[in-house]
């Protein structure tokens, strides 16, 4: 039990790189991009290890001895950035040029002035700021984002040219709920790494590992490590049982799940789908996909037809460039969404605390609602029974529904989310309602391009269409109601656990 010597930061990061936390395909990308001077963009939810990946890229590069400066972008103005850089140069560096690595966390929060500085830095290797203009800066830029930068570009909150620059070498980190088969190995690896601190060698029972695989992990790898160490430290014996798992939901501001619920969690058989049934679901999606791809192509075609006569108009050229960029990104998002749907396996049904999952998904959109000034109203009924649904597919449904709502051009000004317990034909089910005070923007697009544009505007858009198909797969249902004066209501119906 001799004291453990401190591990240098570089060795810690490299150990993390070769651990199970780093998927093999991501590790391979990290090695490749570390030898390049081009910008690297890392996207992933909170707790997926974005900062560790960024540090690994730096330490693996031929220029690992360069300074590594880290900036958290929420609230980072151009002035604060320049002050921090000036302070560092004044106290730690003398000369006319400097080579360094700049790491920007949550880059989607950069304000417009800071975005311009970052773009100029990449192109000119200089910063247009008093005291910094004469210093040549050769910077390797690494940035991370929790949300989609393409959506920020579509919303007019992020520069399209900067987006294309930063995403030159992209790395995507999957959430832990999409790596469920790896959770037993990850959890046991965490225990092994901390055996000295835990005094005795502890391990999980098979039943406890099954519970960990069923959980949806909003905090991803960070939450898994916290839960593993918390449960191990407070366990007197060597074998961690289901009742020893201590989940913490305090940071989510939601109801705590009693430990008895975790202990009694039941494993339900997977819902198998016949090949022809899955094929029918996919075939029915093709017309919706074609419709959604046709909309941006019609817009691009309309602008292109006017290009010869208005080419000398700089404002028109700017608008043409903007709409092409946004619509190409939109098509890319559609195809990525469809690919994710096509790769979903047969549902593995489990019990889900619906109110908890809703709060977590809404938390990810909190920044968007604040920026839009959207009033969020929660009416979540207490004491609801757990619903039966595949955990990862439930997240897919709620993400698609909320993404559809957030892409409304004129709002929403209000969004009400409510749950309730209903009974019909002597069967109980939980209903989830999303009400918002805008009509889907497909009607506005119809007016903009004219009714003779040949586009069918009555079908559900792809996000909602895929969400409904996943609801049906999990023996649930979904309905969409639009009323000109009242807005839009999305209703989701879930089976409840007996």
Name the token pair of 306. Answer: 């006017």
- Domains belonging to the chain, first-starting first, are 9-174 (3.40.50.300), 177-263 (1.10.8.60), 275-342 (1.10.287), 350-495 (3.30.565.10)
Which pLDDT does position 193 carry in this prediction?
A: 83
pLDDT digits (tens, 9 = 90+) for 131-179: 788 788 888 999 999 988 887 887 788 999 999 999 999 999 999 988 9
Which pLDDT does position 294 carry in this prediction?
A: 55
Contact call for residues 77 and 113 (beta carbons, < 8 A)? yes
Q: How many CB atoms lie within 10 A of CB 331?
A: 17
Name the token pair of 162. Answer: 């900067």
Which pLDDT does position 448 carry in this prediction?
A: 34
User: Which residues neighbour 220 within 8 Å (Cβ) at sequence distance 6 or greater?
Assistant: 44, 45, 46, 47, 48, 49, 175, 176
Q: Smallest Cα–Cα separation from 188: which of 144, 142, 240?
A: 240
CA gap 188, 243 in Å, rounded:
17
Low-confidence ranges of the chain (pLDDT < 50): 1-8, 249-265, 267, 269-285, 287, 440-459
Q: Smallest Cα–Cα separation from 155: which of 492, 428, 409?
A: 409
CA gap 403, 334 in Å, rounded:
12
CA gap 250, 194 in Å, rounded:
25
Which pLDDT does position 6 carry in this prediction?
A: 44
Which pLDDT does position 250 carry in this prediction?
A: 39
CA gap 460, 428 in Å, rounded:
28
CA gap 112, 118 in Å, rounded:
10
């Amino acid at each position: 039990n001799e004291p453990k010597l401190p591990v240098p930061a570089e060795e810690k990061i490299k150990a993390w790189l070769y651990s199970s936390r780093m998927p093999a395909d991501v590790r391979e990308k990290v090695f490749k991009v570390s030898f390049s001077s081009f910008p690297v963009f890392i996207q992933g939810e909170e707790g997926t290890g974005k900062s560790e990946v960024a540090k690994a890229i730096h330490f693996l590069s031929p220029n690992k001895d360069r300074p590594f400066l880290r900036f958290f972008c929420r609230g980072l103005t151009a002035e604060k950035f320049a002050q921090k850089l000036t302070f560092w140069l004044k106290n730690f560096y003398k000369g006319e040029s400097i080579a360094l690595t700049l790491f920007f966390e949550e880059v989607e929060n950069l304000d417009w002035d800071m975005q311009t500085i970052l773009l100029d830095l990449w192109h000119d290797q200089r910063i247009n700021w008093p005291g910094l203009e004469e210093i040549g800066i050769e910077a390797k830029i690494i940035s991370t984002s929790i949300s989609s930068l393409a959506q920020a570009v579509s919303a007019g909150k992020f520069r399209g040219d900067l987006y294309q620059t930063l995403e030159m070498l992209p790395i995507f980190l999957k959430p832990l709920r999409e790596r469920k088969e790896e959770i037993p190995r990850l959890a046991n690896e965490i225990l092994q790494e901390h055996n000295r601190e835990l005094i005795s060698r502890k391990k999980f029972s098979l039943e406890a590992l099954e519970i960990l695989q069923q959980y949806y992990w909003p905090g991803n790898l960070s939450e898994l490590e916290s839960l593993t160490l918390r449960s191990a430290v407070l366990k007197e014996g060597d074998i961690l049982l289901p009742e020893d798992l201590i989940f913490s939901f305090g940071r989510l501001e939601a109801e705590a799940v009693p430990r008895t619920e975790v202990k009694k969690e039941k494993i339900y058989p997977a819902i198998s789908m016949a090949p022809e049934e899955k094929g029918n679901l996919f075939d029915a999606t093709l017309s919706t996909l074609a419709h959604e791809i046709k909309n941006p192509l019609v817009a691009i075609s309309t602008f292109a037809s006017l290009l010869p006569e208005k080419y000398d108009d700089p404002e028109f050229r700017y608008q043409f460039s903007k709409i092409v960029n946004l619509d190409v990104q939109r098509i890319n998002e559609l195809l990525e969404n469809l690919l994710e749907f096509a790769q979903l396996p047969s549902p593995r049904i489990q019990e889900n605390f619906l109110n908890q999952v809703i709060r977590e998904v809404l938390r990810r959109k909190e920044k968007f609602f604040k920026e839009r000034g959207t009033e969020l109203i929660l009416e979540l009924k207490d004491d609801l029974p757990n619903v039966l649904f595949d955990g990862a597919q439930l997240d897919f449904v709620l993400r698609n529904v909320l993404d559809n709502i957030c892409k409304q051009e004129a709002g929403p000004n209000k969004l009400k989310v409510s749950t309730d317990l209903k009974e019909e034909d002597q069967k109980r089910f939980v209903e989830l309602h999303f009400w918002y005070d805008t009509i889907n923007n497909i009607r506005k697009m119809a007016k903009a391009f004219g009714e003779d544009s040949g586009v069918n505007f009555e079908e559900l858009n792809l996000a909602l269409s895929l969400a409904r198909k996943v609801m049906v797969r999990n023996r649930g249902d979904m309905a969409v109601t639009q009323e000109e004066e009242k807005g839009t209501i999305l209703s989701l119906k879930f089976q409840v656990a007996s």
